Amino acid sequence: MKITIIFPARKVEVGKATMPVMPLAPTLLAALTPQEHEVSLVDMVYGDQVDYASDCDVVAITVRTPLAMTAYEIADNFSAQGKTVILGGPHIFAFPHESKQHAAAVAIGEAEDLWPIILKHVQAGSLRDYYVCGPYKTDSLNGSIYPQRQRPSLANLPMMRRDLLPRDRYRMDSIFTTRGCPNFCRFCPVTPIFGPQIRHRPIDEVVAEINTLRENYFNVDDSVFGHPQIVDRPEENQYYLDLYKELAALRPKRLWSGAGGLSAINYTDGRKIVELAAESGLCAIAAGLESISGAGQKQSGAWRKLHFTSSDTFEIDKMKENIRIFQDLGIEIMGFFVIGWDEDTPDTYRRTLDFCNEMKIIPIILTLTPMPGSPIYDEYLEQGRIFTELSWDHYGGNSVVFKHPTMDPEKMHKLNFQVLRKGFGMGRILSRTLHTVRHRPSFSIAMNSFFTQLALMKGFLFLYEQSS
């Protein structure tokens, strides 16, 4: 069969401006496709156009919530032509019935074990309505179901099919080493989707794949340091100690970025993991700090991720200390903050930017978007606080989609635009770049820092101008 895999995009993709990274989902799905089939990829984020005149037999589309309407439109067009459309992705987890209206079948959960089965069923004419991989509830699903209760093993996976996209248009390749997150942040659907148990790819397979990557890559793991506070699983920490020793020995050594918790540094194994990660080429980290207040930490549930024993023990000075340790290791920090918790006020935007300026971290300050599949979305929906009249297009950070106790949506939107515009002034960008280079003298790192921030500035400005 001829299979087209589509990764949709919206008009403004801040991620594209930030760091042109080759997408993981379509290249992995292509790698999982049996070799007897012919596969093509469409990455709309970087300009690929959908060919509705294609002679493909099967169309697979990744559905992310802000792209759901775009994905559905594409799916409906292909379905009208008699193509077999399969939908998967994080939005499906929260809204399987809605998604099924636009496809022959939908996949809930991870693709490793499901995708080959789906293709066999297409060929045999026995396609089910729902394919489920993981310990999810299926009682409410109306239609035929193919259930697999266990999440997939991450061993013996094929290398991503990066050859199906023009690699020179991406500044970074992408890879993953683990799945799962034990933090249960209330605004995030990662734990419900991938589970609290951390699963690892075998180190030799990871190292072999990284050895095929270019000089810059992005690790899409939820935390590239693991969770060193999990004292009942010493093998968790040993995995990262062994992995980064292997990567540090690779030649040529590559520069890489990822996401991770700064409080890993507070644990004996965690400190060593971070040091080895820096030695292996880690130069920048996206850190979900979420809030500068104990109240924000409590409502978001992020205090678990920051490894405090409770929200009441949150200390801003401890966060500052951790930031300085990372910076001393030459690791630039992109600090992600969510504003819009019940006790936040207009001044929270300003104080959060002041914190970022003081600490010389890149300010990714965003108004809360309760994402479907997360506890906070379900809670706000039950309380009548979600603006249900807004389409999924508004869930990309360009709109306020819920009712705040004291701030109106227009005010929040305006304040967010103001702090980002100030935070990405040219003086601030240069100051942060120089701060990074002082700790880790490198022309490549300086260029990465400066042009990433410059692209972020353009992306955020365009995003807010389009939504004003």
User: For residue 236, what pLDDT is reported?
Assistant: 82
Residue pair 161/31 in contact by the 8 Å Cβ criterion: yes
pLDDT tens for 437-458 read 999 888 888 988 898 898 888 8
Is the pLDDT at 90 greater than 50, yes or no? yes
Other CB atoms closer than 10 Å to residue 169's CB: what's the count? 12
Sequence-distant (6+) residues with CB within 8 A of 410 are: none
User: For residue 351, what pLDDT is reported?
Assistant: 97
468 burial (CB, 10 Å; 0-12 / 13-18 / 19+) is exposed
User: For residue 11, what pLDDT is reported?
Assistant: 64
pLDDT tens for 157-192 read 999 999 999 988 888 899 999 999 888 888 888 988
Q: List, in order of start, the domains of the chain with CATH numbers.
A: 2-148 (3.40.50), 171-467 (3.80.30.20)
User: For residue 13, what pLDDT is reported?
Assistant: 55
Q: What is the largest CA-CA distance in the chain?
A: 62
d(CA 187, CA 37): 39
User: For residue 14, what pLDDT is reported?
Assistant: 46
Per the model's pLDDT, the better-predicted residue between 137 and 304 turns out to be 137
End-to-end alpha carbon distance in the chain: 45
User: Can the peptide bond before residue 252 be classed as cis, meaning omega within 30 degrees of 0?
Assistant: yes
Residue pair 108/132 in contact by the 8 Å Cβ criterion: yes
H-helix or E-strand containing 2? Answer: strand 2-7
User: For residue 468, what pLDDT is reported?
Assistant: 56
| From 38-42, 95-99, 464-468, the region with the lowest mean pLDDT | 464-468
d(CA 408, CA 337): 19
Q: What is the DSSP letter of 158?
A: P
- What percent of the chain clears pLDDT 90, i.e. is strictly above it? 71
- Kindly report the average pLDDT of the chain as a whole number: 91
User: For residue 228, what pLDDT is reported?
Assistant: 75
- What percent of the chain clears pLDDT 70, i.e. is strictly above it? 96
Average pLDDT over residues 293-303: 85
Average pLDDT over residues 356-363: 96
User: For residue 19, what pLDDT is reported?
Assistant: 59
Rg for the chain, CA atoms, rounded: 22
pLDDT tens for 33-53 read 999 999 999 999 888 999 999
11 burial (CB, 10 Å; 0-12 / 13-18 / 19+) is exposed
pLDDT tens for 246-283 read 999 999 889 999 999 888 888 888 899 999 999 999 99
- pLDDT band of 466, cuts 50, 70, 90: low
Half-sphere exposure of 114 (CA within 13 A, CB side): 29
Nearest CA to 370 out of 146, 57, 66 is that of 66
Is the pLDDT at 364 greater than 90, yes or no? yes
Kindly report the pTM of this predicted structure. Answer: 0.92
Please, what is the angle between helix 316-328 and helix 346-359, to 10°?
30
pLDDT tens for 203-248 read 999 999 999 999 999 999 989 998 877 666 777 889 999 999 999 9
- CA 354, 356, 362, 368 dihedral sign is negative
Which SS3 state, helix, strand or coil, does residue 59 take?
strand
Nearest CA to 6 out of 25, 20, 22 is that of 25
- pLDDT band of 307, cuts 50, 70, 90: confident
